[in-house]
Structure 1
Amino acid sequence: MRYTYPHTIENGAGEQITFVRLKENEKGGMLEIENRVHPGAGPPMHVHHLQDESLTVVEGRIGAQVAGQEPTFHGPGETVTFLRGVAHRFWNAGDDVLICKGWASPAYNMEYFLTEIYRSTKANGGKEPSAFDGAFLQTKYKTEFDVIEIPTLVKKVIFPIILLLGKLAGKHRRFDGAPEAVSLVR
């Protein structure tokens, strides 16, 4: 899937990401991003299995946490980097809008995945993506991304039921043309 840059998405829950540009390279590309996060907002604990991610605070205060560790807090000019395979989360830990610049590399399907998750979340009132969209995206791209806060039982038992019912209802057609997931042999 090709995007025109800059490409901005919002999730209806206080998070906005602008994909500034994709720098193509033989290693899957580097996605340059800017984000704006309202006080208290931020993604749930998640992991990028294939991507490193780095955010530098331009304005505001970011809270960051790696699974199993205490949160850390950073202000303007400071950078937090999350390595691939490490579960993490971040949030606006201040009273004003948090603005960061950063990157994710290799990009692979990050832009598509986040664009679709944000679209569905916004359409679903800003709380979470619709059950079908969340199940579809989490299942299709499980080699690249995982939302740690979704219980394993839900992923292994409930998601297949949701996917079957959604397919019978034709909901899967919305994702026709979705890029194939990337799976690297390690």
Structure 2
Amino acid sequence: MNYSLPHTIDNFLGEKLIFKRILHESDGDVLIGESFVQPGSGPPMHTHWLQDEGFTVLKGRIGYQVAGQPKQYANAGESVVFKRGTPHCFWNDGSDILHCEGWLKPANTIMFFLSSIFAAQKKSGKAQPEVFDAAYLITRYASEYEMNEIPVFVRKVILPVVYRIGKLFNKYEHFKDAPEPVKYP
């Protein structure tokens, strides 16, 4: 899927992302964006297997945690970087909207993946994405992303079964132009 930039998504749960531009570098494209996060909101613990991710706080206070480590915080003007393969989460730890500039390298399929996750959340009307869409995205893109808060049995057994059932019942027509997952190098 091709997106014209800037491309804005929101999940109605307090997160709005604006994908602004892509910088082409010899070792991979860098996606530059902005995020606006409502107090208490932010993504659950997750892992980007193939991407580094960084944020600079423009306004507000970000709380963040790397799995197995204590919670940490950054204020306006401070930056946070998560190396690929590092389970992490972050949230707005302030009382006003958190505004960050961020980057992800290499860009890979992140615009498609996050746009689809946010759309599936809107479809379900709750934080848990619509079940067939979630099964498709989490199973098909397991080489790139992991949602660490989903129990391993559900991630490795239940969701792949639901994914196959969805294929049998043609639940994924809206994903017909989905990009191929990127595999480990």
**TM-score over 0.5 (shorter chain):** yes
Distance 1:11 1:140 in 2: 21
Distance 1:42 1:100 in 2: 12
Distance 2:129 2:27 in 1: 30
Which runs of no fewer than 5 residues in structure 1 stay unpaired? Answer: none
Per-residue CA deviation, residues 125-182 of structure 1 (Å, 9 max, x unaligned), is 1422111111110111111100000111002221122112222221121211211011
Q: What TM-score comes out, normalization by structure 1 length?
A: 0.96
Q: Superposition RMSD on alpha carbons, in Å?
A: 1.1
State the number of aligned residues. 185
Contact 1:11-1:126 within 8 A present in 2 as well? no
Residue aligning to 2:90: 90
Distance 1:110 1:116 in 2: 10
Letter matched to residue 129 of structure 1: P
Which runs of no fewer than 5 residues in structure 2 stay unpaired? Answer: none
Per-residue CA deviation, residues 37-90 of structure 1 (Å, 9 max, x unaligned), is 000000000000011000000111100100000010111000011000000000
Residue aligning to 2:68: 68
Per-residue CA deviation, residues 88-117 of structure 1 (Å, 9 max, x unaligned), is 000000100000001000000111100100
* More deviation, 18-27/146-155: 18-27
Letter matched to residue 166 of structure 2: G
% same residue: 46
Residue aligning to 2:4: 4
Q: What TM-score comes out, normalization by structure 2 length?
A: 0.96
Residue aligning to 1:121: 121
* More deviation, 123-132/10-19: 123-132
* More deviation, 160-169/17-26: 160-169
Contact 2:139-2:163 within 8 A present in 1 as well? no
